[in-house]
Amino acid sequence: MSTRRRMHLTAFCHPPGHWAMPDALPTDMEFSDYVHLAQVAERGLFDMLFFQDSAAVAPAFYLPGNTPEVIARASRCVRLEPLTLLAALATVTTHLGLVSTATTTYNDPFNIARKFATIDHISKGRAGWNLVTSQNEDEAQNFGHERHVDHALRYERAEEFYDVVKGLWDSWEDDAVIRDRATGRYIDPAKMHVLGHKGPHFSVRGPLNIARPPQGHPIVAQAGSSEPGRALAARTADVVFTAQVEIGEAKAFYDDLKGRMAAHGRKPDELKIMPGIRFVLGASEAEAQARYKMMMDEVSDEGALMAIQRLSGGLDLRNFAIDGPLPDLPPSNAAKARQKMMIDLARRENLSMRELARRFTFSLGHLVYVGTAMGLADLMETWFEAGAADGFTMLSPYFPTPLEDFVEGVIPELQRRGMFRTRYEGVTLRDHLGLARPANRLAARG
């Protein structure tokens, strides 16, 4: 096996924003469509398929004064619940990692620990949890809150939530379930551990009522880039999904996050940082640009404005001239780092709100590439070799054609350059990422 550093790849999956493209599948409610996507990603030897999630419909539904026409155009408002979907996809894939978002703000640790441990068992070690604190402020009112929990408190809760979940995954040692017919002993009680957690936010006795996951701990991913988000990721994450649009910024983020890990007794290679790329491919530059233009032309100004409204800090952007500059925004209680990125982009390129909204509704705040497969491979190689990324999160603008084009065009080029695997060399998601299986901390505690 080659010892050369290899690129990691995630296929980002969410209900499609550009569902009206002629070759687009709905991919929001049809299980067969998700099966196809998962099998395409596995054919391309992706490390994992990642499902973003929110426990609320599109923000367009909630903003007072939005017309029925604006609401009618709000895509990505219905979706299958992703943890259930991951369990089903585990039965039709063999190697592909299966990762989903689950919020620490509107869940409880025992349920999250149990569900991801179950998916890890069903998939034989391919589950991953994307730990978020919820960007969508509209989730709050679906869980008995009048307003979204404060950003700092969300991250304080998330720190403790993570500790509880990891502790629950260690409830049982690997060989605790013995099923000895001769003695009638089903378990070895000495290898069962009660967590006994009592903290500011949670009181959880344990143990978890499922055996230790095949990976020991399912992979934990994180996506926050604010100061609290970076602090949490440096201590907890195996993977970080992030959004940088310029290689210098990406390298600075990479170095900063890796540099924080030593304080937690961790080595830099124990964390994989994977910036997102929103891509449009064509057989030629002209064909790719034509596809991109088609997608941009189908977006209404009102619909595009919703993409930046959620980051406005509560300021109603409809009260400002759409061809004027982005006004000064109050701090966001949703996604602080993403708001800063949006403001910096608008100021740096002197964009009007119309221009900014159209850019953001397509990019989702990520780097955008429009061109050929060869050109995309060049871009990925440049960032990877510069130490700005351990791999990439590939964001298709719709499904399935863009992901199919990537697998058929970009993957062979990365393999030709010796930068990407030519076969899966392990079974679990930890194997794909080159991460060690963690020791049982409760067993070590005694």
In a domain, 59, yes or no: yes
Q: Which residues contact 79 (CB under 8 A, 6 or more apart)?
A: 14, 15, 28, 29, 53
Query: By percentage, how much of the chain surpasses pLDDT 90?
Result: 68
In a domain, 303, yes or no: no
d(CA 337, CA 365): 10
> pLDDT (tens digit, 9 = 90+) per residue, 263-296?
999 999 999 999 999 999 999 999 999 999 998 8
In a domain, 322, yes or no: no
In a domain, 340, yes or no: no
pTM above 0.75, yes or no: yes
CATH number at 173 reads 3.20.20.30
Mean pLDDT, all residues of the chain:
91
Q: Which two tokens stand for residue 253?
A: 């983020």
The H or E element spanning position 419 is none
Number of domains, the chain: 1
Query: Quick count: other Cβ atoms within 10 Å of Cβ 270?
Result: 16
In a domain, 289, yes or no: no
In a domain, 146, yes or no: yes
Whether the CB-CB separation of 223 and 241 falls below 8 Å is answered with yes
Q: Is the pLDDT of residue 389 over 90?
A: yes
> What pLDDT does residue 140 have?
84
What's the domain range around 232?
8-281+366-441
In a domain, 342, yes or no: no
Task: Compute the average pLDDT of residues 398-407.
Answer: 96
In a domain, 446, yes or no: no
Task: Compute the average pLDDT of residues 212-241.
Answer: 94
